[in-house]
Amino acid sequence: MAQLREIRVSETPLTYSNKRDWSFHPSAHHVRELLLHFLPSGFVLDGSSVVTVIFGKKRESDLQWHQVLGITFYYIEAFDIAAYMALSPKEKQECILSAVTAVLVKIAEHAGSDPAAIVHAAQCVRNCGFAVRIPIKKLWRSTPDRQFRIEVYRCLGTLIGEVWEAHVFDKAHTLLGVDYLTPRRSNAERTTHFSKSRWQGDIYEVTYSRDGSVMYRLDLGPARRGVPFPQDDKVEVIPARSQRLQGKLP
């Protein structure tokens, strides 16, 4: 059976609109990604690789709970979207976590899967304060002469959604600064797009494996010449250990 690879959260088509100022999905992005992160590796829910939890009233033609082509759909009809959007960010994330956890537990019990693993994952989300920095070690690289090292982290949190950081170290593993592969606030899942990393001289690149396109680029040539990394005064997303670099996207 297929393992669970993605949890989607969306608003019912009956009330969804791209025209209004607020959007339901971004407020839930970090919650669903954190819950998925803390589930056991290879976790099987009901044989679907994707679960879509839809908040609000369903259309008459829709089923409240069904599975098709490897995706499980589940409506939470007793949910007030407008009231939810009026909550504070902390209240929203707890509301979404509780609702999605209850749905996954119900599906797991019906499918004969392990609901305890889901409950434990939800508690881990709360224990970490709905924020975590995940090392993406497949993208870590040292320069051939070992003078510099870049470590990439995927950060999930309440006010940032999903942000990717590149931590730059010298040969003594002293942190020189932190650069950003993504905007400082984002609600896009990037794990499939940041596939591989490489050095092109003093330029560190992250590529997308499907077409080889460069998704991120950072030139360490100035650092090698002794130029200090620039600082900025932007708001911290998850506390970093030193000053930050200015982003250099291709």
Give tens-digit pLDDT for 75-110: 999 999 889 989 999 999 999 999 999 999 999 999
Query: For the chain, what percent of residues have pLDDT higher than 90?
Result: 71
Dihedrals φ, ψ of 144, to 5°?
Answer: -55, -30
Tell me the whole-structure pTM to 2 decimals: 0.87
Do 64 and 116 belong to one domain?
yes
What is the model's pLDDT at position 232?
A: 53
State the residue range of the domain holding 96.
6-127
Q: pLDDT at residue 6 above 80?
A: yes
Do 73 and 94 belong to one domain?
yes
- Does residue 25 sit within a domain? yes
What is the model's pLDDT at position 211?
A: 86
What is the model's pLDDT at position 212?
A: 84
Residue 245 Cα distances to 40, 62, 150, angstroms? 35, 49, 12
How many CB atoms are closer than 10 A to CB 196? 14
Number of domains in the chain: 2
What is the model's pLDDT at position 18?
A: 55
For residues 151-155, give the mean pLDDT: 97
- Does residue 1 sit within a domain? no
